Structure 1
Amino acid sequence: MGLQVNNLKAGYAGHVVIDDLSFSVPNGQIVALVGLNGAGKSTTLKQVIGQGRLLGGSISLDGRDLTSQPFEYKQLLAYIPEQPILYDELTLAEHLHLMLEAHGQDDKTHWSRVEELLSMFRLNGKEHWLPIHFSKGMKQKVMLVAAFAVDSQLLVIDEPFLGLDVLAQKQLIALMKEKAQNGTAVLLTTHLLDQAKQYVDSFLLLEEGRVSFAGSAEELAQSKNKTNDSLDDLFS
């Protein structure tokens, strides 16, 4: 089933940003929400992760409705924000235990996965470090480890490559593909369209708060009279 967004209406301070927005992210698919600044991408993601006030419509994940079943919905969700969110007083290990415990998955099996991810992102040996000792890129890697250690039905990622080195970017793409292959629905935002076409199954183009296009990279390019080799020039 995956993520279902139906006739969504949302905004802030009395201003409607997205109106009558509908789309789906099937299980096992990687879907990129793209568009110019102000198109409503961040507002949409906030609604999907349950941090915004719904003005209309519905959001569900594998049959769990966000409004009527918020706890059940959010337990199926993992989220990687654009800017890392860490607690100054918690060590790296404490952050990861907290994330696993919030999903009811703080056990030896999942901690073994954590150790694999820490090694992958070169954070092993730093389990007792506090966030003050991490660079921005390292903080972003902490968020990646936390999200990918959890067994989730939906993974939401906001601009995933900001602050990451080239190796970490490649590792992130491999992890997203692995998640999708295991049946997780993946929703992300990105401005790096040429890179995204290498791993994204479908693009959703958001314009003025509504989906104006849904389809493959090639179909997206054709819709804007571009070639598939120039997606980064889509809005020029």
Structure 2
Amino acid sequence: MTLKISHLTGGYGQTNTIKDLNFTIEAGTVTALIGLNGSGKTTTINHVIGLMQPKSGSISFNGQDSKSDSSNYQRNLAYIPELPIIYEDLTLREHIQTTIAAYHLDSKLIKDKIAKLLKVFRLEDKLAWFPIDFSKGMRQKVMIVLALLTDAPLLVVDEPFIGLDPLAVSDLIDLLKEKKAAGTTILMSTHLVEGAEKFVDQFLLIDRGRIRAKGKMKDIFKAFPQQKTINEIYLHLAREAANG
């Protein structure tokens, strides 16, 4: 199942934050958006998950258009946000039950999967707790558990490692590798390029709303032959932007 972005332009108000983006993500592969803050990574993700509508261009997954066939498109999608979205009056167990209901899942069939995810992120003894009272890292783990229990064929992840301890980062990378091996199509944004290199198939370097370079990290560096590290590339882009 392929995610296809064609001539995508969009943004806030009259401003086009992203401009004529074109890329595809095949099933069983991971594409990572990288770039400076404000480059258009999160805006791209917000269009893919349906929070924003394109001003022009299209987004489709497995042939289902995000605008004209939005219901079917959304059923195939799971999302891990950068900032956890927690329901104040629901316990962890109730968050899980709400996700099961929203995706029409069979709670008996996914019982073992839920137990595994809760154990991996050390949440198995907190089902009766209210995640609103959790730390930022623990709330992020709740978001990961809810998204991964769905088995949605399209997984969108916005800065998944922020706020997680090193063990949780390692656990999440292992789970993303499992999803990739199972054929999930994965789009993510991240600043942790070195850790992502081990499982990301394609990097898209976004610069002021456009794709500046794409491919493996070696391809990104080929586009910036004078820079030797990703931080040097980011500094170069910042200087370019400052000089207009």
For structure 2, the residue ranges without an aligned partner over 5 or more in a row are 236-244
State the alpha-carbon separation in 1 of the partners of residues 132 and 203 from structure 2: 37
Question: Could you list the per-position Cα deviations for residues 84-141 of structure 1 after superposition, in whole angstroms to 9, with x for gaps in the alignment?
Answer: 0010001101111211221111421223211110011000011111123311111000
Alignment match, 1:43: 43
Alignment match, 1:172: 172
Give the counterpart letter for 1:206 in structure 2: I
State the alpha-carbon separation in 2 of the partners of residues 153 and 183 from structure 1: 7
State the TM-score, normalizing by the size of structure 2.
Answer: 0.92
Preserved contact between residue 197 and residue 217 of structure 2 (Cα < 8 Å) = yes
State the alpha-carbon separation in 2 of the partners of residues 29 and 232 from structure 1: 25
1:65-84 matches, within 5 Å, as 65-84=65-84
Compute the displacement of 1:232 (Å).
4.1
Question: Could you list the per-position Cα deviations for residues 139-163 of structure 1 after superposition, in whole angstroms to 9, with x for gaps in the alignment?
Answer: 0000010111111111111111111
Give the counterpart letter for 1:147 in structure 2: A
Alignment match, 2:230: 231
Preserved contact between residue 87 and residue 132 of structure 2 (Cα < 8 Å) = no
SS at match of 1:33: strand
Alignment match, 2:8: 8
1:55 matched to 2:64? The reply is no
Give the counterpart letter for 1:178 in structure 2: E
Preserved contact between residue 90 and residue 130 of structure 1 (Cα < 8 Å) = yes
Give the counterpart letter for 1:10 in structure 2: G
Alignment match, 2:110: 110
SS at match of 2:85: coil
Compute the displacement of 1:68 (Å).
1.0
Give the counterpart letter for 1:217 in structure 2: M
Question: Could you list the per-position Cα deviations for residues 23-76 of structure 1 after superposition, in whole angstroms to 9, with x for gaps in the alignment?
Answer: 111110011011111211111000000000221111011111111111110110
Alignment match, 2:161: 161
Compute the displacement of 1:212 (Å).
1.8
Compute the displacement of 1:13 (Å).
1.7
Give the counterpart letter for 2:214 in structure 1: A
Alignment match, 1:213: 213
Alignment match, 1:136: 136
Alignment match, 1:198: 198
TM-align CA RMSD: 1.3
State the alpha-carbon separation in 1 of the partners of residues 108 and 49 from structure 2: 27
Give the counterpart letter for 1:6 in structure 2: S
Alignment match, 2:186: 186
For structure 1, the residue ranges without an aligned partner over 5 or more in a row are none
The number of residues matched between the two structures is 234
Preserved contact between residue 75 and residue 102 of structure 1 (Cα < 8 Å) = no
State the alpha-carbon separation in 2 of the partners of residues 159 and 224 from structure 1: 24
Q: Which of 111-120 and 76-85 deviates more? A: 111-120
Give the counterpart letter for 1:234 in structure 2: I
Preserved contact between residue 213 and residue 219 of structure 2 (Cα < 8 Å) = no
Give the counterpart letter for 2:84 in structure 1: P
Q: Which of 71-80 and 100-109 deviates more? A: 100-109
Compute the displacement of 1:182 (Å).
0.5
State the alpha-carbon separation in 1 of the partners of residues 223 and 234 from structure 2: 11
Alignment match, 2:242: none
Alignment match, 1:91: 91
Question: Identical aligned pairs, as a percentage?
Answer: 44
Preserved contact between residue 152 and residue 184 of structure 2 (Cα < 8 Å) = yes
